[in-house]
Each structure stands twice: as C-alpha cells, then as structure tokens.
Amino acid sequence: MKKSKAQKDILYISISIFIVTAIWVASNLYHAYVTSTITPDLKIQIVPIAPNFNTNIVQKIKNRKRIAPVFEIKNSSSEANTTEGLSTPTQAASSPTAQNAPNSIQKPGL
C-alpha cells in the first residue's frame, strides 16, 4: 500500500513536533535544576516534619461543642442612625464655621 504525500507530510510534522517538545521539556527541567534558588545554608536548615500526630487531640477537636457568640453585630442602617454620639448632617451645616469654611479658603495665585 502506498502512502500519499499528505500522509508523509503529517508524519514528518508530528515527528518534528514530538522532537521539539521533548527538547523543550528537557531544557526546562535542566534549567530548573541548574538555577535552584535554595542556598546551601538554607538546605541545612530545612528539616522534614515528623508525620506523628496525636490522634486523641484531633478527635477531641472534632468532638468540641460549638459555642454561640453572646454579642452579634447587626448591619442595619436604622441602628446606625439611632446610635448615640453621632452628629447628624443638619447639626454640622447649622454651625457658623461650617457655613463660612468654603469662603475662607483662598486659592493661591488668584
């Protein structure tokens, strides 16, 4: 059975793509190996974590009761307006210094 020219071209392209991809991956792995950012001093300090867990403590944490908070924050605009100690916009606008403040500011160069 004869192979057509299109089949030969597809085979050539696919082999070329495979070779280029393999070279690309190999060069990236080599580059990552050569340019490691871990200094020798840091390698000495790195110690693996021991995989020993106290399973009794983990079980106690899982069985812990949930405690409902005594005070809850409520986000309501009506509560914010009724809070004591806050001034209203009408109080600030009625003061004489608030009315004269924009007139007392002078722009330089005018």
pLDDT by residue, tens only, the chain of 110 residues? 567 899 999 999 999 999 999 999 999 999 988 887 778 788 788 878 788 888 898 888 888 888 777 887 777 655 555 545 445 555 444 445 444 445 555 555 55
Contact 93, 99 (CB under 8 A): yes
How is the chain split into domains, by residue range?
A: 1-45
How is residue 37 written in tokens?
Answer: 């950012």
- Report CA-CA distances (Å) from 51 to 43, 45, 54, 61, 102: 20, 18, 10, 18, 68
- The torsion region of residue 54 among left (phi > 0), alpha (psi -120 to 50) and beta comes to beta
- Report CA-CA distances (Å) from 48 to 18, 42, 45, 79: 38, 13, 10, 53
Task: Name the nearest CA neighbour of 61 among 53, 49, 71.
Answer: 53
What is the DSSP secondary structure assignment for residue 63, as one 8-state letter? T
